[in-house]
């Protein structure tokens, strides 16, 4: 079928009101697109996918660099004031459109180490590596992955040398079984062979599929699911109430499901929908006058995220993406490089990262301890608890115009601090309260100190020893001395108080929110069982970042896709 002349088949709300489907998927984001696509593979079933955002598929949204953290579908929110961030509210980004946050993320695809899944499975759930690996393979047959070899900035080999000097091996593939859990990595990015961002929308619901399945798969955008139609006595969900996005005092319309409903509205909105439906902790629901259908205290609790603390190095502007801000000709040059040769800054942004475990560092030398631990260990206690994402731009880029900056974004991978999501209004258009509670656990502060010292040590090696042939200096860092005054070995002398103050002033969210409806027993504060069913309901599942038992020690998108694939498999098995 020739699909280019035909519009993407989007249903209007009027077309679906009063209909009954086999399956309803709520949220057409990263996981929701995958679940709807897999469930609609069987032409004998009917599937409805409901998405709050609008349909959008313009050229800019496909360009990797141009679409990171931007787009008409960006949905920024602010957290509550965070004591661990000096009382600041921090920005939380996600996207509302088909493909959800996979339309604007950094595209880094990391499965996560085997030990993370084996630990997940310790509480009796079948999510160990052998169970999840086939689903990762299904994802990777659908979502194209790409590695960048031609890097635009000269800093990379010298940062790699510095990481190696600190005991971290270089590894080309983070996702290969048997790869080290600590090292300097070349990331797999979700970019297709044409050099376009490959989001969940493009991978799982491309126009050809949407057209081919349009009688059995209905995709409806610009609608908000406000609550579920529940039958608590039978433990069933019968349908969802929807209204147009953004409408004030909207009339809710019921749409029914014969078999199952899957919530895939993300770590913020899946718990919101449950709470608005009367599933949540009794005090939260009662405070808003919501009748309690099931008292499930885990709903919205245990919210996890990776705190991110940047330091930066100043380099000549040609080694930083900031050159695009500075020169119109550079924009033209890189646009041509991208369009003609499929390379350049527009394609390459977040290509390399450094993973390490702070408890493996020798506090005297600041180097990975040998031979007691090896980066190849796959024990849960040896998993990396920190990552340095190399970002060839200052953050925020607007803060230092005209400067060439490269940031080392320190990401704490195993934070113990957890926050919460709580509805604050009966209106589903209104964002719930998001409390990250970042850096509240003393252990996170201790890990941050060690990891920051390591990051400074790495930056010092790069500036003073790596042989990087251009002028460079540590630019944004803890303490008051200016960058020129930062010398070799200063990482040793920076005080705990100084590091703590730096964290408070600079920590931000990495937008890796997970675990607000986590998989665990109800007694342990869990929301879903090992088959992703909400406790107390036979046909209500959740498949998105909210079900992960804790934020993974890796970037979460791959795990979210894997959960979506498994959810579809569970449902297909159940109804076959």
Ligand X SMILES: Cc1cc2nc3c(=O)[nH]c(=O)nc-3n(C[C@H](O)[C@H](O)[C@H](O)COP(=O)(O)OP(=O)(O)OC[C@H]3O[C@@H](n4cnc5c(N)ncnc54)[C@H](O)[C@@H]3O)c2cc1C
Query: What is the C-alpha separation between 561 and 547, in angstroms, rounded?
Result: 12
Between 189 and 461, whose beta carbon lies closer to ligand X? 189
**According to the binding rule CB under 6 A, does residue 108 interact with ligand X?**
yes
**In the beta sheet, which residues pair with residue 295?**
280
Helix or strand or coil: residue 308?
Answer: strand
Query: What is the C-alpha separation between 356 and 363, in angstroms, rounded?
Result: 14
Quote the crossing angle between the two packed helices 155-165 and 442-460, to the nearest 10°.
120
Query: What is the C-alpha separation between 449 and 272, in angstroms, rounded?
Result: 35
Between 74 and 498, whose beta carbon lies closer to ligand X? 74
Residues 6+ apart with CB under 8 A from 427: none
**According to the binding rule CB under 6 A, does residue 366 interact with ligand X?**
no
Residue from 25, 39, 107, 113 binding ligand X (CB under 6 A) = 107
**According to the binding rule CB under 6 A, does residue 144 interact with ligand X?**
no
Between 520 and 547, whose beta carbon lies closer to ligand X? 547
Q: What are phi and psi of 23, to 5 degrees?
A: -130, 140
Find the shortest distance in angstroms from Cβ 50 to ligand X: 5
Site residues for ligand X, window 265-284 (CB under 6 A)?
A: 265-267, 269, 273
Structure-token match 């998993």, residue found: 383
Q: Which residue from 33, 52, 4 is spatially nearest to 220, judged by alpha carbons?
A: 52
**According to the binding rule CB under 6 A, does residue 64 interact with ligand X?**
no
The kind and range of the H/E element at 404 are none
Find the shortest distance in angstroms from Cβ 76 to ligand X: 9
Find the shortest distance in angstroms from Cβ 411 to ligand X: 11
**According to the binding rule CB under 6 A, does residue 51 interact with ligand X?**
yes
The kind and range of the H/E element at 566 are helix 557-575
3-class SS shares of the chain: helix, strand, coil, % to 5: 30, 20, 45
For residue 401, how many other CB atoms are within 10 A of its CB?
A: 10
Helix or strand or coil: residue 218?
Answer: strand
- Select the span of 48-56, 333-341, 371-379, 497-505 touching ligand X (CB under 6 A): 48-56
Find the shortest distance in angstroms from Cβ 263 to ligand X: 9
Helical spans, DSSP H, in 298-441: 323-326, 328-336
Residue from 158, 338, 511, 537 binding ligand X (CB under 6 A) = 511
Between 106 and 195, whose beta carbon lies closer to ligand X? 106
**According to the binding rule CB under 6 A, does residue 69 interact with ligand X?**
yes
Between 409 and 466, whose beta carbon lies closer to ligand X? 409
**According to the binding rule CB under 6 A, does residue 184 interact with ligand X?**
no
- Select the span of 99-107, 417-425, 431-439, 440-448 touching ligand X (CB under 6 A): 99-107
Find the shortest distance in angstroms from Cβ 559 to ligand X: 8
**According to the binding rule CB under 6 A, does residue 203 interact with ligand X?**
no
Quote the crossing angle between the two packed helices 30-39 and 557-575, to the nearest 10°.
30
Residue from 26, 391, 451, 548 binding ligand X (CB under 6 A) = 26
Residue from 46, 79, 102, 407 binding ligand X (CB under 6 A) = 102
**According to the binding rule CB under 6 A, does residue 512 interact with ligand X?**
yes
* Total interface residues for ligand X by CB under 6 A: 40
The tokens for 201 are: 């929308």
Helix H, strand E, coil C: the string for 219-284 is EECCEEEEEEEEECCCCEEEEEEEEECCCCCCCCEEEEEEEEEEECCHHHHHHHHHHHCCEECHHH
Between 486 and 511, whose beta carbon lies closer to ligand X? 511
For strands 108-109 and 386-391, give the pairing: unpaired
Query: What is the C-alpha separation between 54 and 59, in angstroms, rounded?
Result: 16
Query: What is the C-alpha separation between 155 and 508, in angstroms, rounded?
Result: 25
**According to the binding rule CB under 6 A, does residue 353 interact with ligand X?**
no
**According to the binding rule CB under 6 A, does residue 388 interact with ligand X?**
no
- Select the span of 264-272, 374-382, 403-411, 485-493 touching ligand X (CB under 6 A): 264-272
Helix or strand or coil: residue 301?
Answer: coil
**According to the binding rule CB under 6 A, does residue 384 interact with ligand X?**
no
Site residues for ligand X, window 291-350 (CB under 6 A)?
A: none
**According to the binding rule CB under 6 A, does residue 428 interact with ligand X?**
yes
**According to the binding rule CB under 6 A, does residue 220 interact with ligand X?**
no
**According to the binding rule CB under 6 A, does residue 382 interact with ligand X?**
no
Between 269 and 317, whose beta carbon lies closer to ligand X? 269
Query: What is the C-alpha separation between 310 and 503, in angstroms, rounded?
Result: 9
Residue from 16, 21, 27, 449 binding ligand X (CB under 6 A) = 27
**According to the binding rule CB under 6 A, does residue 225 interact with ligand X?**
yes
**According to the binding rule CB under 6 A, does residue 254 interact with ligand X?**
no
Residue from 544, 548, 550, 551 binding ligand X (CB under 6 A) = 544
**According to the binding rule CB under 6 A, does residue 541 interact with ligand X?**
no
Residues 6+ apart with CB under 8 A from 172: 147, 185, 186
| Residues of this chain that bind ligand X (CB under 6 A) | 26-32, 50-53, 69, 93-94, 96, 100-102, 104-108, 224-225, 264-267, 269, 273, 428, 511-512, 544-545, 555-557, 560
């Amino acid at each position: 079928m020739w699909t280019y002349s035909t519009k993407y088949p989007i249903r209007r709300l009027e077309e679906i009101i009063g209909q009954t489907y086999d399956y309803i998927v709520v949220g057409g984001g990263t996981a929701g697109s995958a679940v709807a696509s897999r469930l609609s593979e069987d032409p004998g079933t009917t599937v409805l996918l409901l998405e709050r955002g609008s349909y959008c598929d313009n050229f800019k949204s496909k360009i990797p660099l141009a679409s990171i953290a931007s787009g008409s579908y960006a949905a920024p929110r602010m957290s509550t004031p965070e004591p661990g961030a000096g009382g600041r509210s921090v920005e939380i980004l996600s996207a509302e459109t088909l493909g959800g946050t996979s339309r604007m993320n950094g595209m880094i695809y990391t499965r996560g180490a085997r030990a993370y899944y084996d630990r997940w499975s310790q509480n009796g759930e079948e999510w160990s590596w052998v169970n999840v690996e086939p689903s990762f393979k299904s994802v990777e047959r659908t979502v194209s992955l790409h590695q960048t070899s031609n890097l635009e900035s000269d800093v990379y080999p010298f940062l790699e040398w510095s990481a190696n000097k600190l005991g971290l091996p270089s590894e080309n593939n983070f996702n290969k079984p048997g790869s080290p859990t600590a090292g300097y990595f070349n990331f797999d990015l979700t970019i297709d062979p044409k050099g376009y961002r490959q989001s969940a929308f493009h991978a799982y619901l491309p126009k050809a599929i949407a057209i081919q399945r349009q009688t059995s798969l209905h995709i409806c955008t610009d609608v908000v699911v406000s609550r579920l139609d529940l039958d608590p006595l039978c433990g069933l969900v019968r349908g969802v109430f929807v209204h147009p996005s953004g409408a004030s005092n909207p009339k809710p319309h019921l749409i029914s499901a014969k078999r199952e409903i899957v919530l895939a509205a993300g770590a913020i909105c899946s718990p919101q929908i449950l709470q608005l439906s009367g599933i949540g902790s009794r005090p939260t629901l009662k405070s808003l006058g919501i009748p309690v259908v099931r008292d499930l205290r885990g709903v919205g609790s245990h919210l996890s995220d990776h705190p991110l603390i940047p330091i930066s190095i100043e380099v000549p502007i040609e080694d930083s993406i900031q050159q695009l801000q500075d020169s119109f000709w550079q924009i033209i040059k890189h646009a041509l490089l991208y369009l003609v040769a499929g390379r350049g800054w527009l394609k390459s942004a977040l290509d390399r990262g450094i993973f390490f475990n702070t408890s493996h560092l020798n506090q005297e030398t600041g180097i990975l301890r040998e031979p007691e631990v090896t980066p190849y260990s796959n024990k849960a206690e040896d998993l990396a608890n920190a990552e340095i994402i190399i970002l060839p731009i200052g953050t925020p880029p607007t803060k230092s115009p005209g400067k060439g900056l490269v940031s080392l974004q320190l990401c704490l991978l195993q934070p113990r601090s957890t926050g919460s999501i709580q509805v604050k209004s009966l209106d589903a258009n209104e964002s719930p309260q998001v409390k990250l509670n970042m850096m509240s656990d003393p252990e996170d502060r201790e890990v941050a100190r060690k990891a920051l010292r390591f990051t400074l040590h790495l930056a010092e090696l790069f500036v003073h020893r790596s042989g990087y042939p251009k002028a460079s200096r540590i630019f944004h860092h803890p303490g008051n001395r200016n960058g020129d005054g930062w010398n070799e070995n200063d990482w040793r002398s920076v005080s705990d108080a100084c590091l703590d103050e730096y964290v408070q002033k600079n920590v931000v969210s990495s937008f890796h929110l997970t675990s607000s409806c986590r998989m665990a027993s109800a007694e342990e504060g869990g929301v879903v069982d090992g088959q992703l069913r909400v406790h107390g309901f036979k046909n209500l599942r959740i498949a998105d970042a909210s079900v992960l038992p804790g934020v993974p020690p890796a970037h979460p998108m791959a795990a979210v896709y894997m959960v979506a694939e498994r959810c579809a498999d569970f449902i297909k098995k159940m109804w076959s």
